[in-house]
Amino acid sequence: MLHREMLNKIPIFPLNVVVFPGENLNLHIFEPRYKELIKDCIETGISFGIPAYLDSKVQNFGSTVKLESIVNKYPDGRMDVMTKAEQKFRLLNMEPTLGSKLYAGGEVEFMEVIDNSNHSERVLLIETVQKLFKLLQIKKDNLHPEMELLSFKVGHHIGLTLKQEFRLLSLEKESQRIDLLIDHLIRTIPAIRAAEKSKEKVKLNGHFKFFDPLEF
């Protein structure tokens, strides 16, 4: 059990990933400290925080996740678990161990995720995302303008770098997040189109080509 003086702290599980509130995250648990963490989640129902690990250091933003289920247990104690992300937080400080526990802990400030976007912004984002999907021959019909926190629903699916995903998480307002995504797509889609044209040219190299006669 966690001691009373630790109630303002949460377990911390840094990962080289950005976790958005509301998303499902599957984890393979193999380190002793995180086996202990999952055991405590089962026994007490606690959530734990996953701050992003970038540039060889733990960053100050992340999301808490709650254990949903244990999918597989292995004879050596390893586990495959399903979790659900809950709240965005700012990590105020971190300790290598949480009291007598093997896993790390830290004080966090929970952050409000503000959805101030309007319908036209959300429609524009979906239309732009669908242009990318069409270009890449990806079929996704489950996006609609009224989805809550739409930016987080598409954030992992449009080719953002890990640093860009972290930037998306760190932004306070949904309108800011939508602007970031649309800007990324506007720059990315022409580059992909150009790459596709280059691929077609490469395919034609070495083949006989038919040219229309020119009049001059």
Break the chain into its structural domains and give their ranges.
8-111, 119-204
Q: What is the pTM of this model?
A: 0.85
Q: What is the pLDDT of residues 187-210, one digit of tens each?
A: 999 998 887 776 665 555 544 444
**Residue 16 contacts residue 162 (beta carbons within 8 Å):** yes
**How does pLDDT run across 57-85, given as a tens digit for each residue?**
999 999 999 999 999 999 999 999 999 99
Q: Which CATH number, 3.40.47.10, 3.40.50.80, 3.90.1150.10, 2.30.130.40, labels domain 8-111?
A: 2.30.130.40
* Residue 211: predicted pLDDT: 45
What kind and span of H or E run contains 185? helix 174-204
Tokens of 120: 């036209």
Give residue 193's Cα distance to chain centre.
26
Mean pLDDT, range 166-194, rounded to an integer: 95
Residue 176, pLDDT > 80, answer yes
Looking at per-residue confidence, does 152 or 142 come out higher?
152
Q: What is the pLDDT averaged over residues 41-50?
A: 96
DSSP letter at 148 equals: T
- Cα distances (angstroms) measured from residue 26 to each of 38, 43, 151, 177: 13, 20, 21, 25
Calculate mean pLDDT across residues 36-48.
96
Check: CB of residue 151 under 8 Å from CB of residue 178: yes
What three-state secondary structure class fits 43?
Answer: helix
Query: Which pLDDT score, from 0 to 100, does residue 105 have?
Result: 97
